[in-house]
Each structure stands twice: as C-alpha cells, then as structure tokens.
Chains A and B, each alone.
Chain A
Amino acid sequence: MLLINCPYCGEREQEEFTCGGEAHIERPKNPPDLSDDQWADYLFLRQNTKGLQYERWNHSFGCRQWFNVARNTATDEILAIYKIGEKPPPLESNEPLTPSGEPHIGSGNFSTSKK
C-alpha cells in the first residue's frame, strides 16, 4: 500500500485513490485530420515506463480532486506530487534507475526473461 499525499487533504492511504494513467497527454487539436493510427495512438498507446512515470491520480473517496504524481514504477517511490495545470518538476536529470539496471522503456523484464 502506498501513502499518497493529496495536495488538498494531506497524507492518505492508496485505497482512497484511483489512478488515472499517464499524465500530460494532450488531446490533438485537429482530430478530423488524424489518421486512424494517430488517433489510436492518442487514445490507447502509452509509454508503460519502467522507472520515472508521470501519472494522474484522483482522490476518489476524499476530495475527488485530480492531481499529478511522479512515481518510479519499478520501486513505487513517489518523487513528486503537483496540482493539475502545473508543470512537472524537473526530475529528468536524476531519473531513478530501475533496480536491475535495465532501460526504462521497451525492455520487458530482464531478470524474469533470463530464467
């Protein structure tokens, strides 16, 4: 279980929250001009990062507000929490390493596939 620091209510248990998936995905400004592939990309395709990922969360059983969380998906460590509309804090420079040292995207899981 994670303890998540809601920007409004303070620290609460994860059970009160809902994860809304990857954050900062902009809706295309010209949907009619997009090909099916581009539209599907916007709707369905996500980075699925192993390591630092920016996510949206909702305090669904509390204040019902949306906010952003920067989380290391490999270790579950929460690195930053910021409100909707705010720019993500600069974390790229010290992006957390995955415990096994594998790349963040598209690697599968080295430690399992070796077996």
Chain B
Amino acid sequence: MTLSRNTVLENIKIEKNGITIEELPFVGKINLRGNTKDRDFLSNAGSVLDVLIPTEPNTIITNTDLQIIWLSPNEWLLSFLKNENFIKTFNELNTRLNPEKTSITDISENKTIIRIEGNKTTELLRKFMILNIDETLKDNLKVAQTIFVKIPILITRNHLNQEKQSFDIYVNRSHTTYLRDLLLDGCN
C-alpha cells in the first residue's frame, strides 16, 4: 500500500482578495464503523488511536494531526492530516477490532481537502451554503456534512477566533474544480 495520489488542482494554492484557497496534498483517510454500545469496540479503537472516538454529533477529536470526525452515531472519518501513521493505524485497527462487528475502509482516494483561509471566509461561504455556519460551526473542531450549492461536502472549522478563519472542505475529487471556481468567483 503506497500513499500517493496527485492533487486534483494544478495550481494548488491561490490567493484572491485576502482569501487563500489551497488543496491539501494527499491525506490518508479511514472510514470506521462500529457500535458505541459495544464496549470492546470503544476501548480497542480508543487504544489504537490513543484517544476516545467522539460520540457527540458534529464534533472532532484530534490527536497529533489525526482528526477523528463524527459522521453519524456509528460512523467516523479518520483524517491523517500531516500524520504519517496511516498504514500503521490501518493495520492495527484491522488486528484489534472484531471484523464481524466493525468496518474499516481506506477511503483516502475518495475525497480531496480544500482549505480556505482569510478573515472573510465565513462571508464567502455564506454565498453558497444553506448551512447556518455561525450556529453549526460555532467553535473550532466542529464539523458539518451539508451541501455547497448542490455538491455534498463535509466542512470542518479549524480556527479558534474569528480573526484567523480557516475551514477544511472535504469534497469529491470530481467536484473539486467546480468548487474552486465558484469560490474564486465569490471572492470578487
């Protein structure tokens, strides 16, 4: 298993009117499913990841650039941002978790991540999104699965204070150029 895949966008970092739009280079991702009422699942997953998986909706728990993102009551996305333990963690999860009661899927190539930064990012996103960003993403490490115009996306909030706004948008590879073009248009 090798971790490499080209980015979708040729020009991966663009700045326009104080907003930076950047596609993150390849990030390993695992989709993890299991029952939170199953104590073995919780404790084994917790010991492999070195942190308890989040059970509160729309939240993220991080551990040295590994983000564990809540997707649904029995599903999480492990996003290995700058974290090199992808293969090790993937194998350990497969060894430790009961295969009959859990599912561990490498979905690294499924989506790419677009990071948007700048102090008017929320304003920009509001042009395209029906999500109540101020309410749903009111703190850092909050996440929402929603739509951007008509595109299904997952959006996470990275910033603590409003002066340095930063969001990561997980988007299907085939929708990436469209998303980038719309964002650039919105910067005008």
Residues of A bordering B, CB below 8 Å: 8-13, 15-16, 61-65
| 8 Å CB contact of B130 from A10, A13, A64, A65 | A13
Check B130–A63 contact: CB distance below 8 A: no
Interchain CA distance A61-B72 in the complex, whole Å: 11
The reply on B131 being an interface residue by CB < 8 A is: yes
User: Given A61-B145, A63-B71, A63-B72, do A15 and B130 touch, yes or no (CB 8 Å)?
Assistant: yes
Check B73–A8 contact: CB distance below 8 A: yes
Number of A-B residue pairs with CB-CB distance less than 8 Å in the complex they form: 39
- Residues of chain B in range 128-154 having any CB-CB distance to chain A below 8 Å: 130-132, 135-136, 144-147, 152
| 8 Å CB contact of B146 from A8, A11, A12, A65 | A12
Interchain CA distance A10-B134 in the complex, whole Å: 13
Check B57–A9 contact: CB distance below 8 A: yes
Q: Considering only CB atoms and an 8 Å cut-off, how many residues of chain B contact the other chain?
A: 15
The reply on B20 being an interface residue by CB < 8 A is: no
Interchain CA distance A87-B71 in the complex, whole Å: 26
Chain A residues with Cβ under 8 A from B132's Cβ?
Answer: 11
Interchain CA distance A52-B58 in the complex, whole Å: 31
Interchain CA distance A10-B58 in the complex, whole Å: 9
Given contacts A12-B136, A12-B146, A15-B147, 16 further A-B contacts (CB under 8 A): A9-B136, A9-B145, A11-B132, A11-B135, A13-B130, A13-B131, A16-B130, A61-B145, A61-B152, A62-B144, A62-B145, A62-B146, A63-B71, A63-B73, A63-B145, A64-B72
